[in-house]
Structure 1
Amino acid sequence: MRGMPGMPMHEDQVEVAAGTVRALVADQFPEWVGLDVREVRSAGTDNAVFRIGDDLAARFPLRREDPDRLRAALAAEAAAARELALVSPVPTPVPVALGEPGHGYPSPWSVQTWLPGHDATVEDPAHSLGFAEDLAALLTRLRSADTRGRRFAGGGRGGDLTDHDAWMEVCFARSEGLLDVGRLRRTWAGLRTLPAPDSDVMCHGDLTPPNVLVERGRLAGVLDGGGFAAADPALDLVAVWHLLDDGPRQVVREALRCSEVQWRRGMAWAFEQSVGLVWYYRETNPGMSRWGRRTLDRLLAGADG
């Protein structure tokens, strides 16, 4: 579910209703007038998602941002998603259109193809060796894509671990009473100074449970491909900690021939993400908070092993 009813997940959250979506579609994409519009409840935190008919999904950013900056970001995400769709061995949404603000909604928004299936917050693949094999095949294919000389250039996960020290301090302070903060600090101290990778590869960038589609224990698709970019090869290893228990996790490690440093950098990126999930979404999206805590349990067991 996208948060608790009536409780926004972000201080700057923008709400959008189905009636607003219908009005925006009628004004900007009259060819879709008459198609059913309905909200998709999900564990995602960045966008409200509405299906348009059977084949399309509209995504409305939930956080208020400068429209020009957001429009440029959505265009860049669409280009990245198209590039991902060309190399992914499993289905991923294809961008269709960009919409403009209107009818009280203040931001640009996007439309893409709809993929059926259950995400990994609904169908848990934690014990599936078949899913682990599928995930390894996906990461192998993404890593083999041409970077065209690109290197990591973002401000989020995927570059220098120590760039996240300030955020981790916020997370540690906000996690008092929720988690064993002393243990978390010691774990981060052991991960944050791992050697940098020799070179970047193409990464999905956010292989978390809401972005992974599962069917009968196998990987059926990946969502939110707008972050496909060059980054630390370990970045997409967050998926093994978010999604898999120990046995299947080792299947991925062996298939990718991960070095100890790369494996531990993957732990570091998953750790940085999960610590924030637990406190930030504790009240507004308890499901997200719970799977952040589950990932931390796996990471702490792995760090001790």
Structure 2
Amino acid sequence: MRRIDTRGRRYSGHGRGGVLADHDEWIQECLIQSEGLLDVKLLRRLWATMRELPRGDSPDVMNHGDLLPGNLLVDHGRLTGVLDVGGLAPADPALDLVSAWHLLEAGSRQVMRNQLGTGDEEWERGKAWAFQQAMGAVWYYVDSNPAFSHMGRRTLERITAHSI
């Protein structure tokens, strides 16, 4: 998707894909709602660092914006399709790296990173975008969609294991 021409368009200011610190209000709501579900003290410390990550000077690229397991079709361990592309829009190139944290264990994440040639700053922002998304999934879907809540929890476990 990164190869699709943005035709000069830039991030619109809505949803994910701009500046991480712009999501402070959402993360604070997630932290409050996650008391008793997650280690909020640890997650609050992680966000304090993540929110400060610089956007960098890399130009916006076309992004799916929601590369979660349910939006990817896999056959015999190979990606065969991507669903829900209605939100395809220009954004921070790190945004689509959320898939590394939602889908892959450490070794596979490293392979993906190497294949993409992703630098440290972009990789850390990708991890932060995954954190931002996963924080809402855990508490919001804990009763209505337990599998999705579990996906968020697993993502946060991967992030915290990599951050401690």
TM over 0.5: yes
Equivalent residue runs for 1:229-244 within 5 Å: 229-244=89-104
Q: Are residue 168 (structure 1) and residue 27 (structure 2) matched?
A: yes
Task: Please tell me whether the aligned partners of residues 237 and 266 of structure 1 are also in contact (alpha carbons under 8 angstroms).
Answer: yes
SS across alignment from 1:144: coil
2:15 to 146, 156, 161: 156
Q: TM-score, normalised by structure 2?
A: 0.97
- % identical aligned pairs: 59
Paired position in structure 1 for 2:136: 276
Distance in 2 (CA, whole Å) between partners of 1:300 and 1:155 is: 27
User: What is the CA RMSD across the aligned residues, in angstroms?
Assistant: 0.8
Q: Which deviations, in whole Å up to 9, do the C-alpha atoms of 1:31-68 show, x marking residues without a partner?
A: xxxxxxxxxxxxxxxxxxxxxxxxxxxxxxxxxxxxxx
Task: Please tell me whether the aligned partners of residues 202 and 228 of structure 1 are also in contact (alpha carbons under 8 angstroms).
Answer: yes
Paired position in structure 1 for 2:106: 246
Paired position in structure 1 for 2:41: 182
Q: Which deviations, in whole Å up to 9, do the C-alpha atoms of 1:152-188 show, x marking residues without a partner?
A: 0042110011110000110000000110000000000
* Unaligned stretches of 5+ residues in structure 1: 1-141
* Unaligned stretches of 5+ residues in structure 2: none
Task: Please tell me whether the aligned partners of residues 197 and 233 of structure 1 are also in contact (alpha carbons under 8 angstroms).
Answer: no
Task: Please tell me whether the aligned partners of residues 152 and 200 of structure 1 are also in contact (alpha carbons under 8 angstroms).
Answer: yes
Structure with bigger gyration radius: 1
Paired position in structure 2 for 1:146: 5
Higher strand share: 1
Higher helix share: 2
Equivalent residue runs for 1:1-305 within 5 Å: 142-198=1-57, 199-304=59-164
Aligned length: 163
* Deviation at residue 285 of structure 1 after TM alignment: 0.5
Letter of the 1:227 partner, please give it: G
Distance in 2 (CA, whole Å) between partners of 1:143 and 1:224 is: 16
After TM superposition, the runs of 4+ consecutive aligned structure 1 residues lying more than 2 A away are: none
Higher relative contact order (CA 8 A, sep 6+): 2
Distance in 2 (CA, whole Å) between partners of 1:253 and 1:290 is: 24
Distance in 1 (CA, whole Å) between partners of 2:3 and 2:74 is: 23
Letter of the 1:171 partner, please give it: C
Q: TM-score, normalised by structure 1?
A: 0.53
